[in-house]
Chains A and B, each alone.
Chain A
Amino acid sequence: MSANTLFNDSTVVLGIETSCDETAAAVVMGGNDVLSSVVATQIDLHARYGGVVPEIASRAHVEAMNVVIRQAISQSGVPIERIDAVAATVGPGLIGALLVGVAAAKSVALVLDKPFVGVNHLEAHLYAALLDDPYVEFPMLVVLVSGGNTLYVEMRGHGDFSVIGQTIDDAAGEAFDKVARFLDLGHPGGPAIDRIALTGNAEAIDFPRAMLHEGLDVSFSGLKTSVINYVRKNPTVSTADVAASFQYAVVDVLAAKARKAAKQIGAKSVALGGGVAANSLLRSTMTTVCAESGWRLVLPSMAMCTDNAAMIASAGWYRLVADGPSSLDMGAMPNLRLT
């Protein structure tokens, strides 16, 4: 990491996140001191469509953006002219949604005459875990599981990481959403399944664990299909048992691959990130796995699992320190990957 002395522990970053269905702004000092974090969720707007509708998301971002920024600034206690830099998610995500946040962030930076930095949303998820526990030891395995991604990331240091495993089809969160929709449990599916699974028997049905023994990649598409086939063949089965057994199968695969990946990279610590990291069974299973192997487990708070702007401001701070600001002609990059 280069010593970019312009940015240090007292540097205050305003972060903005609009990549999907949360309009968020946060103020973070020195990369991990969260002074404020405001999230306006649009879940209700999209619920009846069974998923996020891009145009509806973009419209809601425009309407919420100013209020969310205003709240983040006022809750931080830092006057807006004392902000040192502005960070925004530039990708991956919905292009129209991303552009609202990028346009607003660049405008704030321009008017304040402060640097702007574009942030990779997935990289920000890696930093979300560190916001609660910044003094973690590397190498660290980050298991990033959300509606859009299932990634095993080897993190050797700040800004120094590589993807060592991922899903070859559905993301884990996507499987939760699809199964929840099939079982009529509503959207978003993760919390719904988590809740009803508490009342079911996780060993009632032995759903298949795909690719448990090959490499670090995972697959959830077959599992989703076998859940659907099972319920069609056994229409009287208890929904709670199906949800619990499905969840058990997903977590079993995620945890087995995490154990394998952590061993492979000689991890000192393991962190969870993304919306599925809020799943109670995944959290308890990973707690056991890490305790057995002596890895320090970093479990982000629920607020840091889901999309927020504190992680954007944090990742933005690390980017500023390492590489300096981005240009004001930066646009959105909807297909950005973690590299």
Chain B
Amino acid sequence: MIILSIDTATDGVSVAIAEGTRVLASSEMRSEKQHAEVLTPMIDFVRKQAGVSFGDVGAVAVDIGPGLFTGMRVGIASAKAIAQVLDVPIIGVTSLDILATAVGVTGDVIASVIDARRGEVYWSLYRHIDGKLRQVTNPQATAVEECALQVIDRGQSTLFVGNGALRYRNEIELVVAGVLPSFAFADDMAASPSAVVLAQIAHERALRQEWQEADSLVPEYLRLPDAEINWATRSAS
């Protein structure tokens, strides 16, 4: 099956078209701005490079976040519209899953950590169990120290990945150094989710028909709008 994969959840735009496990074409741009300007022409370009027509696309995959609200909605709104017009299913994958998949098979705990601004990170922990990547904590938005403390609780060697891990590298090291058997940081290349990795996950999910209708796909924000947080605080006091 040919799958169109779209990622605009963090600091960039990336698009891939793959058939099975083979990527036919892909493109990537790294900037926090102009997701909407870049995405549509990029899809057009990648489709042409892949040598397929939209009618050949059997499913659309998209990074549903967490990430930058405005940027991620550009990809999600686009993917949902494309899936609707093509009348094909949509596969929503979290940015944290994509990052954890990108580092490949390892015996370490994988900590996917995305910069959430305002001193917080979106994060989740993963492990490879029987050769399969498993999410072992619920995704959360917390201060980076909370993430590091929960990593310590597990006491296992850990690989940190994502732009949040790199931004708060010092803070994480302060907590985990000397406590964990070992730890490492995935490099810059793996810091942001990529549509090429998303395509890989989407292929596996498509084989199991783990997909949904475009109408029902919702983003994974992990954080309420400020107005709702303030409202709840005011109502509580």
Contacts and interface: CB of A to CB of B under 8 A. Distances in A.
A302 interface: no
Contacts of B41: 328-329
B81 A99 contact: no
B203 interface: no
B70 A58 contact: yes
A297 interface: no
Contacts of B86: 111
Interface in B12-46: 34-41, 43-44
Given A49-B227, A59-B221, A65-B80, A107 B40 contact: yes
A58 B69 contact: yes
Contacts, number: 106
Contacts of B84: 66, 69-70
B82 A96 contact: no
B73 A329 contact: no
B226 A55 contact: yes
Nearest to B47: A110
Interface in B62-107: 69-70, 73-82, 84-86
B77 A108 contact: no
Interface secondary structure of B, over-half rule: helix
Given A48-B231, A62-B73, A96-B70, A329 B40 contact: yes
Given A108-B85, A111-B86, A329-B41, A55 B69 contact: yes
A332 B81 contact: no
Contact-residue bracket for chain B: 35 or more
Interface residues of A, number: 37
Interface in A91-118: 95-96, 99-108, 110-113
A300 B36 CA distance: 33
A63 interface: yes
Contact of B70 (A56, A95, A330): A95
Nearest to B38: A329
Contacts of A101: 77
Contacts of B227: 49, 53, 55-56
Contact of B77 (A70, A95, A104, A328): A104
A101 to B, nearest CB: 8
A66 B215 CA distance: 6
Contacts of A105: 81
Nearest to B226: A55
A259 B90 CA distance: 55
Contacts of A56: 225, 227-228
Interface of B: 34-41, 43-44, 54, 69-70, 73-82, 84-86, 214-215, 218-219, 221, 225-228, 231
Given A103-B36, A103-B74, 13 more contacts: A56-B228, A62-B218, A66-B80, A66-B81, A96-B70, A99-B77, A100-B73, A103-B73, A103-B78, A107-B81, A110-B40, A111-B54, A329-B37
17 contacts: A56-B227, A58-B69, A62-B73, A62-B80, A66-B84, A66-B214, A80-B85, A99-B73, A100-B74, A101-B77, A103-B77, A103-B78, A103-B81, A106-B78, A110-B40, A328-B41, A331-B37
